[in-house]
Structure 1
Amino acid sequence: MARHGVSTETSNRLIARLAPMHRDIVTAHAPLAPLQPDMGRFLATGGVSMVEGAGGGGISPWALITGYGTRDSWGGNAHFTRVQTQDYSLDTRGVAVGIADRVELSVARQDFKGDLAPLNLLRIQQDILGLKVRLAGNAVYDQDRAMPQVSMGAMYKKNKGINGLRALGVTSVRQLGAKDDRGVDYYVSATKICLEHSLLVNGTLRATKANQMGILGFGGDQGDTVKLQPEVSAAWLAHRTLAIGAEYRRKPHNLGVDPEKSYYDVFAAWFPAKQVSLTVAYANLGTITVFNPKTQKGWYLSLQAGL
């Protein structure tokens, strides 16, 4: 048994000692497997899709990364949202992807329409590209810390012009007094979830020149500087599949023809499964234009589906 100078017992010990090293070496040199969607996060922690395409509430982004992918995975969704007031409607279609619970990418198109004469032919479209990065904290797993989850994001917006008012000679937001038809919103969001009380709170600070989210352009005769605007959200998980909450979003006032006011809403979001959610809200969007002084109020409906 010891003919070659090594006993069987010693050989077995050596193999046992080298086996883990061999597995580590093989693993280290093996090609990295692509991330697979695992939907490993808790129900509702991906939020819903806001009217500008980012993950969060209805009118404000949250620090949460969209989808249900964990740090070793990814998740994504597509959504359709309609906001209907007395005189206007806003449709948003978009897709968003969350990667490794760290980065979020989104793209959305907004379609704003007038419903009553003489603006019944009015149509304004806007494209939005979004990027969000989680900087620190974890809203779900940091239950023993006061530290919220903090993310920074940007939204590039391109207004595609005004249709339906050619008879009045109006085809661009610049003709309404806007300084530009494109711009970038920058924001920082902090979100804290208290599982013990089934409560989520979020605060966002946005740097923007957008008029009515950019639908009426950027900057104007009343101001053309970036302004910091606060946004706050709160939601209570009344049931494992149902969240009830409210949001507030302050807006800049850059255009003389647009006496822009703050947005706010109260909402209920239903999550029957991780693959789908439905959000219903009552929204107040303030006054849209001096030519129609009515405060615009109405309903908000958003359907999101994903993995």
Structure 2
Amino acid sequence: MPKNLVLPALACWLGVMLSGASAAAREAITFDSGKLILTNGVTTIEGSGGGGLATWATISGMGTNRAVGISAHVTGVELPDFRLDTHGIAIGIRDRVELAYARQNFNTRHVGAALGLGRGFQFNQDIFSAKVRLAGDLVYGPGWLPQISVGAEHKRNLDGAVVRAVGARASAGTDFTVSATKLFLGASVLANATVRLTKANQFGLLGFGGDRNGGRSVQFEGSLGWMLTSRLVVGGEWRTRPDNLQIAHEDDAKDLFAAWAVTRHVTVTAAYVDVGSVATFKNQRGGLLSLQLAY
């Protein structure tokens, strides 16, 4: 090739390559928001996609299997003696993989003084989670085959000295989950079942393992929802939990919820929550309010 044609040829080749790479990148990060409304679920208090308490097999965000989805949430749980605030972000990749982060802040109010921690003492926890859809589809495919996902939630309590003082064996731990979720469109009913392997005390807010039981145990999470309209679903959840600490008996958690899709991208969830006994204070029943933005 004549020398005076080399540079133009190289420039042309480079332009084609960059154009192809740019097109591939655009395809990889497409946001199509193509899921049916509410079929992405809402966000749990631990940051993964699901209900308020239970993890579901759903993948966060509104992206289909050809796109990327993203969601962000802020949630408050008001109890008689405590308050829990969580916020976080999750990314769904081609409706196959979910990556999420959440921060939990647990305010002990006057209980902190009674426990010698100081009034308004706050436990803080970071949660990094991942979930992979293995089989099935929430809406489509055989009616007998639910969407099935496996997940992991790594929790890091930022108050290690305090949680060890109340009997926890560690300030960090990892939960493992297997979830099966199906929306039966004909009946407008959503059903979910999750098995969780965990040693978290009060979701990890009081550390992991204890003087009563130091290892992981198998726990169950169940959810049932009824779609009153395409934008409103009501239902309930039940979540069993380990009872690892001698000084702080732990009960099952349950809720009754309503999730309303204000728009395709904005969902508000309100729930009545009962978590039983928390740090020796019984009858911790109150309200949950959550706002989720999803694309």
TM-score, normalised to structure 1, is 0.85
Matched, 1:240 2:245: no
Return the offset for 1:89: 0.2
SS at match of 1:213: helix
What letter matches 1:187 in structure 2?
T
Aligned to 1:147: 145
How far, CA to CA, are the matches of 2:90 and 2:269 in structure 1? Answer: 17
Q: Is the 8 A contact 2:143 2:184 kept in 1?
A: no
Return the offset for 1:30: 4.4
How far, CA to CA, are the matches of 1:256 and 1:269 in structure 2? Answer: 37
How far, CA to CA, are the matches of 2:208 and 2:147 in structure 1? Answer: 30
Pick one of 284, 295, 301 that aligns with 2:283.
Answer: 295
Pick one of 47, 50, 72 that aligns with 2:44.
Answer: 50
Q: Is the 8 A contact 2:103 2:125 kept in 1?
A: yes
- Runs of 4+ with deviation above 2 angstroms: 29-35, 115-121
How far, CA to CA, are the matches of 1:231 and 1:121 in structure 2? Answer: 31
What letter matches 1:157 in structure 2?
K
Aligned to 1:130: 129
Q: Is the 8 A contact 2:90 2:100 kept in 1?
A: yes
How far, CA to CA, are the matches of 2:294 and 2:223 in structure 1? Answer: 23
How far, CA to CA, are the matches of 2:229 and 2:163 in structure 1? Answer: 44
Aligned to 1:107: 101
Return the offset for 1:189: 0.2
Pick one of 20, 23, 28 that aligns with 1:34.
Answer: 28
SS at match of 2:158: strand
How far, CA to CA, are the matches of 1:125 and 1:274 in structure 2? Answer: 32
Return the offset for 1:272: 1.8
Matched, 1:274 2:264: yes
Over aligned residues, Cα RMSD in angstroms?
Answer: 1.4
How far, CA to CA, are the matches of 1:52 and 1:204 in structure 2? Answer: 14
Runs of 5+ consecutive residues of structure 2 not aligned to the other structure: 1-15
Matched, 1:203 2:193: yes
What letter matches 1:214 in structure 2?
G
Q: Is the 8 A contact 1:84 1:90 kept in 2?
A: yes
How far, CA to CA, are the matches of 2:120 and 2:47 in structure 1? Answer: 25
Aligned to 1:172: 162
Instruction: Output one character per residue of 1:75-97: Cα deviation in whole Å (capped at 9) or x when no partner.
Output: 11111000010000000010001
Return the offset for 1:121: 2.2
Q: Is the 8 A contact 2:73 2:88 kept in 1?
A: yes
Aligned to 2:212: 222
SS at match of 1:46: coil
What letter matches 2:102 in structure 1?
A
SS at match of 1:172: helix
Aligned to 1:12: none
Aligned to 1:259: 249
Aligned to 1:83: 77
Aligned to 1:9: none
In our comparison, the structure showing a higher alpha carbon Rg is 1
Q: Is the 8 A contact 2:28 2:68 kept in 1?
A: no
